[in-house]
Structure 1
Amino acid sequence: MSSPPSLEIHDGIAKERGQANVEQLEEKPETDPKSSPREIQGRFDLLRDLGDAEMERLGKRVLKKIDMRMMPAITMMFLMCYLDRINVSNARLAGMQEDLHMTDTIWNLGISAFYIGYLVGQLPGNLWLAKASPRWFLPCAMLGWSTCTICTPALTNGAGFAACRFFTGLAEAPFFPGITLMTSSWYTKQENPTRMAIWHAGNTISNIISGFLAAGILTTMSGVAGLHSWQWFFLIEGIASIVVALGALMLLPDYPHNTRFLTPAEREMAQYRVLCSNGGKEEGIGGTWDGVKEAVKDPFTWFFCLMHFALVTAQSFKDFFPSIVNTFDLGELTTYFIQAPPYAFAFAFACAVAWSSGRRQESFWHIVLPILGSAAGCAVLISTTNVGARYFGLFLLISGTYNGLNLQLSWETTLVPAPRSKKAALIAIANCISQVSHWFSPYFWPRAHEPFTVLAGGWSWSAACLS
């Protein structure tokens, strides 16, 4: 049966339009800067025919699911990661250094050994994660460092302390750049700064909790079951880390294209959201070493390496923060408790600045102005005997440095959104080089320089200015 004339005309027009569209696509240069959201939507079978209202509802549902599962998991994991990293500072106040017969030099060697292991595992760990399953990889890394923490109470000398801290750093190495990579693979450039500030809060919250744990454990559990209080400190933290790691195995997603707890349409929406944020550029995986080569050749990598190095160097105080507060001579229990407020303020400040940065899509001034405040706070800390002024200086010092590090991570993943192997290499290289400062920073904090530690304070001040 022949088609009615109207249908033939309609088919002819459609064919002409289709041919014209093909010709336009063929003539379109490969360097076309960005794809429109509608064009990106057309790449997905299950999204192609959805209207704007349906797309908005589906996008909100996906965002809510990821926020409810991923953000609590990685925030708690990061909290335990930093708690594990800084627990030796409070253990030192409880007599760990004396009990293991360590000089200041041996103690600082153990602190540096952690960052040697951290440096060794950084790049290979993050490149592996770019192709591996985050849901399995990250919790397994956490189980590794938790095992080291639980073994710490069995140490008997400085050599064992240095070896244990080395393997702790090696296990922790892929975690921080790994969750940075994972966050940037799920959230848009508008959402990224705030989400990174939220999980980066694990950093600040760990310092708050550490003070309270120290007050509760280090002042009451000495001699229980024949153990020193610092031994109980490590045991309890190690067990808590294992519990969090097992919970993360059930909560964490993989990447947007293969996460099981999302429906097929939600998986496509998760990919669509990130594609729109990237201007239509596919994240992809890319060859492992090709990603490294691309990152090395990109000048942004080296700008971020320098900035990251300066910010981490300015944070060198964090491994000695309890010792700094101890110079206020306010008593053991008070020393543990007053560690919390500066970090609580830093968390609220970082979230507010991150929200502003994401909303305005501006990073430079959001980093520079607070870091200048850190330099001022550091100057106050080492130039006066007034305890109130020095305590206020700690608020400024902590807030600016932690805020700057959080926003810098968001900034680098926004500028280099794809391929995933290049982004993973950039994050790892920048984080790797920044950790070199930990090899020598501890030696700027000998006890003989207390209470002002002018050398260390001047070092942090210089790094803040360099940032």
Structure 2
Amino acid sequence: MTASTVLVDETVKNGVQTEQVETTFLSASDIRQRFDTLKDLSDEQMTALNKKVVKKIDWRLMPCITVMFLMNYLDRINVSNARLAGLQEDLHMSDTIWNAGISTFYVGYLIGQLPGNLWLAKANPSKLLPAIMLAWSIATICMPAMTNGAGFCVIRFVIGFCEAPFFPGITLMTSSWYNKEENPTRMAIWHAGNTISNIISGFLAAGILENMDGVAGLHAWKWFFIIEGAVSILVALVAFFVLPDWPHNTKFLSEEEKEMAQYRILVSNGGRDENITGTWDGVKEAVKDPFTWFFCGMHFALITAQSFKDFFPSILKTFGFDKMTTYLVQAPPYAIAYASACLIAWSSGKYQESCYHIVVPIISSAVGCAMLISTLNLGARYFGLILLISGTYSGLNLQLSWETTLVPAPKSKKAALIAIANCVSQTSHWFSPYFFPTSQEPFYRMGGGLILFGCVMTVLLCFGIVWRAKKLNKKLDEAEGYSAGSGYEKGWRYVY
């Protein structure tokens, strides 16, 4: 297939305004001609160079952002375990003030999302992302200075604002380095940082909160924040030297390797370049694309289905374990969630299918939630937790890779989509804490109803995205004159 521009223009049909789909398709050989160091290489040399580049990026990018995200998520959930160690009582906070503090974190998070990710699309990630990490880590170390609920709300707002660009930023980076087959698995690897952080948080809580109370005259929960903040600062300093930038300007790659890194993504994108003039042009394109709003709804639904995570230790407390056991039994559900997320992501990438790889785990999450809110049987409730955590975390991971596959370029549009979707999703944190008051123990049925709503909405929106992708693919088939058995090679298509 040679380079061809396909324009589907149905501006007015039967008096109704319809959309225009315009896409330029290039074959791999056409794309290779753009790169001086690649165009004369044999297929064997291209394969070997591709493997070399992937290996280098795997060893530099993946461990770095996985550890960074682990610390990022640990910082987000550490207040849940600190609450069990007396944080809420020591600051004389009512449940209402506590929930307000949880919510204000996400107010700051919301405000910093879009500008932060648009800035990153134009900046060097190796400088900006570690600087962001330093900012939230310093704020975390300041948490032991809190004396009341107002201070808690203010500092959580600041931490949320500092953390805002990080999650969409590493999502953007991953999709800019890995093609559509590799992307789901790589996102699962670093996205597992949020499951690993829950495991580590439980062990840290068991070690610090149970053994350091009164050391140097400080409550144990204060040491929890000091130690975690100090480790985050160390990780940020290392990241300044390890984290790569974009494929075209990463210093540790040779010129040939840089061109291969760019070539790989162009082939995956159907020849569409990631670059675009004007950051705000990307925002405008994202806002006009219906996929943006489908993924906004799905991300919102998935975060709503994960609303249990800020109250996970409190939910486990209702199982009747002692405090030490409550800390320790947090680990197995998240370890299982990590393994299942990686396996499902690998399958999704291999078979280039996203819808049912999200729908099936989400249905299992709904079953797990139903167990939690309907029985006091300890084994059934714990198994329900495993299903709930595994399904929602796997679903969120695949949603992230799906949105960057369906909207692969330009970079500023993709950055805007990721940020807008993440931004909208975080609004669920403004109200979800109020669905888990202590008066709802042990079933937390009000929170369970919210989780089930998120699961149902996720399934419906999955099928909505598939409907739109099929509709666009049909238009592209018609525009290319493609039909089964025609002998023509298909161009780039929307994967669902």
TM-score by length of 1: 0.93
1:149 match: 140
Residue 207 (structure 2) pairs with residue 216 (structure 1): yes
- Report if aligned partners of 2:5, 2:24 keep a CA contact under 8 Å in 1: no
Residue of structure 1 aligned with 2:272, choices 281, 285, 307: 281
1:39 match: 30
- Report if aligned partners of 1:286, 1:420 keep a CA contact under 8 Å in 2: no
Residue 419 (structure 2) pairs with residue 398 (structure 1): no
What's the CA shift string for 1:92-141, capped at 9, x where partnerless?
00000000000000000000000000000000000100101101110011
- Report if aligned partners of 2:337, 2:390 keep a CA contact under 8 Å in 1: yes
Residue of structure 2 aligned with 1:54, choices 45, 60, 74: 45
2:220 match: 229
Residue 415 (structure 2) pairs with residue 424 (structure 1): yes
Output aligned runs, 1:61-460, within 5 Å.
Answer: 61-460=52-451
Q: Based on CA coordinates, which of the two structures has the bigger radius of gyration?
A: 1
**Offset at residue 420 of structure 1 (A):** 0.6
What's the CA shift string for 1:135-173, capped at 9, x where partnerless?
111001100110110000110000000000000000000
- Give, in whole Å, the separation in 1 of the partners of 2:455 and 2:207: 34
- Give, in whole Å, the separation in 1 of the partners of 2:271 and 2:366: 40
When residues 50 and 459 of structure 1 are mapped into structure 2, their CA distance, relative to the original with a 3 A threshold, is same
- Give, in whole Å, the separation in 1 of the partners of 2:185 and 2:429: 27
**Offset at residue 32 of structure 1 (A):** 6.7
Q: List alignment gaps of at least 5 residues for structure 2.
A: 8-21, 459-496
Matched AA of 1:50: L
- Report if aligned partners of 1:130, 1:285 keep a CA contact under 8 Å in 2: no
- Report if aligned partners of 2:110, 2:164 keep a CA contact under 8 Å in 1: yes
- Report if aligned partners of 1:185, 1:256 keep a CA contact under 8 Å in 2: yes
SS of the residue 1:382 aligns to: helix
SS of the residue 1:50 aligns to: coil
**Offset at residue 34 of structure 1 (A):** 2.3
- Give, in whole Å, the separation in 2 of the partners of 1:32 and 1:331: 60
**Offset at residue 288 of structure 1 (A):** 1.3
- Give, in whole Å, the separation in 1 of the partners of 2:443 and 2:176: 44
- Report if aligned partners of 2:61, 2:244 keep a CA contact under 8 Å in 1: yes
CA RMSD of aligned residues (A): 1.2
When residues 112 and 253 of structure 1 are mapped into structure 2, their CA distance, relative to the original with a 3 A threshold, is same
Percent of aligned pairs with the same residue?
A: 70
- Report if aligned partners of 2:6, 2:24 keep a CA contact under 8 Å in 1: no
**Offset at residue 451 of structure 1 (A):** 0.9
**Offset at residue 286 of structure 1 (A):** 3.3
SS of the residue 1:43 aligns to: coil
- Report if aligned partners of 2:371, 2:384 keep a CA contact under 8 Å in 1: yes
What's the CA shift string for 1:176-216, capped at 9, x where partnerless?
00000000000000000000000001010000000000000
Matched AA of 1:148: A
- Report if aligned partners of 2:106, 2:427 keep a CA contact under 8 Å in 1: yes
What's the CA shift string for 1:265-302, capped at 9, x where partnerless?
00000001101111111111431111111000000000
More off after superposition, 75-84 vs 33-42: 33-42
**Offset at residue 448 of structure 1 (A):** 1.3
**Offset at residue 330 of structure 1 (A):** 1.1
Matched AA of 1:438: H
- Report if aligned partners of 1:117, 1:170 keep a CA contact under 8 Å in 2: yes
Q: List alignment gaps of at least 5 residues for structure 1.
A: 1-23
- Report if aligned partners of 1:131, 1:285 keep a CA contact under 8 Å in 2: no
**Offset at residue 461 of structure 1 (A):** 1.3
Matched AA of 1:192: N
TM-score by length of 2: 0.88
**Offset at residue 28 of structure 1 (A):** 7.0
- Give, in whole Å, the separation in 2 of the partners of 1:261 and 1:177: 24
Aligned residues: 443
What's the CA shift string for 1:351-405, capped at 9, x where partnerless?
0000000000000000001000000100000100111110100000001110010
- Give, in whole Å, the separation in 1 of the partners of 2:23 and 2:66: 38
Matched AA of 2:141: I
2:461 match: none
- Give, in whole Å, the separation in 1 of the partners of 2:328 and 2:452: 26
